Amino acid sequence: MRRNSVLTPATAMLAAAVYLAGSGAAVDSIASDDLGGTAAHCFQDIALDDFQSIEFNADRLLVEGPSVIGFEGPRAIIEFETSVPTPAAVVRFGPLTLAGGVREALFRKVAGERLESGETATTHRIEVDVSKLESSSYDLYYIEGGGGEVAYRLEVYDPRWGSAGLYDRRFRYVREGPRKTGEYALASTMTFGPFVDLVGPDSFVISWETDVPARGAVVLADTTFADPEVSLTHEVAVDGLLPDSDYEYRVRYGPDDAHTGAFRARTAPEEGAGGCRFAYASDSRGGAGGCEHDLEGVNHATLKAILADAVSKEVDLMLFGGDLVDGYTTSEDAFRSELDSWKRAAGSVAFSLPIYEGVGNHEQLGDYMAAPEPGQPDKRFIVHCDREGAESLESVFSSEFTNPTGSCYGFSLRPEELLDDRWRVSTGPDYAETVYSFNRGNCHFVSINTNYWFTGVMYDETTVRYPSDKEGTALALRVLGGNREGYVLPYQLEWLEQDVAAAEADENIDWIFVFTHEPAFPNGGHLYDAMFWGAPGKGHEGGLNDASVPLGDVIDMRNRFWGVLAHSPKVVAFMCGDEHNYSRTLIDTDIDPGFAHPVWHIVSGGAGAPFYAQDKSVPWVDKVAAFAPVNHYCVFDADHESVSLRVYAANGTLLEDVPDLTAYSLTGGSE
């Protein structure tokens, strides 16, 4: 169920008061000595009451719609409302097609809004004549089928930015009688999906959403797997299948018992049997190219290109390591709308390609508070934190995607408790489906949430502090509690250690892969946070390791985390994003004598976000085997003997070919 979150200043103030009381600090004032050794005295005059709850990134151009409200003759009526007056909009529309394992819209016709020249409005109406798609020149299935699905793209000029906003949607209609003069009517529509997830040797899950509540079912040949619940959302387990086998399925949905066309999904091999070819990508949030490069918070152009190319490479699954969307908002509706945008892009292949999603720092939904900046009363100091319960980022994210829950070996993971009397007394949200593991063939995969219970500093045109501000972050953690960006808290670290040890002991598993968002050893763009919290351009300073500030033992934490990975010779690679580039770095005993076995640190943040350059000041620069600021993704091939890596640009060009990652040679790749 979708909720519109309301900020509660009283609750935020109470939480802050409890937090400070638990630390022994004065509740009515935050003094400099409460911030620890790295904090500046400039915060000594900030009173707790100075922090006020605010809305952040909650304004959207579209406040209602677009939606099809019905038909007038052969014309579908699309209505929407904008937050500011905008000029006449246009709709590009056409059929949805499936070819080469990719589903895409073929926009063929255009409809314009009827406004006078120079006129603007906040309520809008566009008439789309679907009979234009029923001519012999353009028809793909509408004439014989008596209607069908129509994909459309709304294009609205946003005067605030001087650019166009794009919104992709679809609807279904039925027609009785001849073209143009027959009776046209809106029909129930599958708004998202189908998606295939949780693929095992004998089962998989098919999920989808509809625009009206109804029952649904998945049909395989003569077998029907029904979901009897009347709902907008459906997850149907399809079981009793054979391992390593292709299945054709259709989805029955809506009150009119509509059927999709045929899709194909493949079960996994028996555990330990065969290898696995999988892809990894991250950071598809809005890019700098405009239009389809930033479509409702997502770089559709790059993400869809990568997904289509991955399908052409016949990968078994894709891991996606966070920063799916722009995020950073107080509005749950706005955040869910961006996740919806990502699902629309992923829907081009996700009916057959399982995608395992993870959380990034841009998957940030929470409460924001602002206080006057000390010494600059015209500026603000803004901090943010995660929410609790069903409104937490972890809960909302898990409700939008279908991923495993916890460890495939049965280890449970409880919410974190931070009970240090110096800092706070509080409990974090449930990890839900943001931390999990699963097996495929001879490989074990682990998703880690390095942005759990995330508290930090935010910036806009009214601020002078950035998320990299260490003093501000220390204060944010003091006031709001929660967790530092990139920090892996004790319970999750314990869970990871248990899970990796179980996979190490599993005779069916040859290789272990861990993926998340934040780099452990950043190389460009995020030295100031992640698992380093250092100074860009001054990587030799060693990052943050100061026990006098909240969760300040970043380097010690990182070494504990990496020690878990390096303890097992089965762990081949750690994949992450956050930095919008590709890098491959070998982390071994030269970095730390405690890292018993070498592990590749692979940054693959090239799914569409703006790029970062390399920072060559990092202490591990000599261990960097490859670096490229380019849109890309990675393909791994794991058999019983070795693991290879190929890195492809978004256009399919091969960037790097590493025949055997398990050889652990810095010269093993070629560009």
Half-sphere exposure of 564 (CA within 13 A, CB side): 26
Q: What structural domains and CATH numbers belong to the chain?
A: 62-188 (2.60.40), 202-266 (2.60.40), 276-363+390-452+485-663 (3.60.21.10)
Distance separating alpha carbons of residues 223 and 252, to the nearest angstrom: 12
Average pLDDT, the chain: 91
Residue 245's identity, in one-letter code, is S
> Does residue 74 have a cis bond before it (omega within 30 degrees)?
no
Half-sphere exposure of 402 (CA within 13 A, CB side): 22
Contact 574, 515 (CB under 8 A): yes
Q: What is the pTM of this model?
A: 0.93
Distance separating alpha carbons of residues 387 and 368, to the nearest angstrom: 10
- Residue 596 φ then ψ, to 5°: -60, -40
pLDDT of residue 586: 98
Residues in a beta bridge with 172: 149, 187
Distance separating alpha carbons of residues 448 and 360, to the nearest angstrom: 10
Contact 158, 164 (CB under 8 A): yes
pLDDT of residue 47: 67
User: Which residue, among 156, 175, 24, has the nearest Cα to 80 in the 3D structure?
Assistant: 156
At residue 34, the 3 state secondary structure works out as helix
pLDDT of residue 479: 84
> Does residue 66 have a cis bond before it (omega within 30 degrees)?
yes
Q: Residue 415 carries which DSSP code? A: P
Instruction: Dig out the tokens for 52 from the structure.
Output: 């006020």
Distance separating alpha carbons of residues 129 and 400, to the nearest angstrom: 33
Name the stretches of the chain with pLDDT < 50. Answer: 1-41, 421-423, 671
Residues in a beta bridge with 278: 317, 636
At residue 9, the 3 state secondary structure works out as helix
pLDDT of residue 301: 97
> What own/partner pairs with CB < 8 Å and gap ≥ 24 does 106-114 have?
106/151, 107/151, 107/152, 107/153, 108/133, 108/138, 109/133, 109/138, 112/88, 113/88, 113/89, 114/88
Distance separating alpha carbons of residues 525 and 664, to the nearest angstrom: 25
At residue 469, the 3 state secondary structure works out as coil
- Residue 226 φ then ψ, to 5°: -100, 150
Distance separating alpha carbons of residues 178 and 46, to the nearest angstrom: 72
- Residue 110 φ then ψ, to 5°: -130, 140
User: Which residue, among 580, 577, 575, 551, has the nearest Cα to 565 in the 3D structure?
Assistant: 575
Which helix (H) or strand (E) element contains residue 337? helix 332-346
Q: Residue 501 carries which DSSP code? A: H
How many CB atoms within 10 Å of residue 303? 30
Instruction: Dig out the tokens for 59 from the structure.
Output: 């304004």
Instruction: Dig out the tokens for 200 from the structure.
Output: 């095992």
pLDDT of residue 51: 87
Distance separating alpha carbons of residues 194 and 235, to the nearest angstrom: 10
Distance separating alpha carbons of residues 449 and 481, to the nearest angstrom: 18
User: Which alpha helices (H) appear in 511-629, and where do they start and end?
Assistant: 554-566
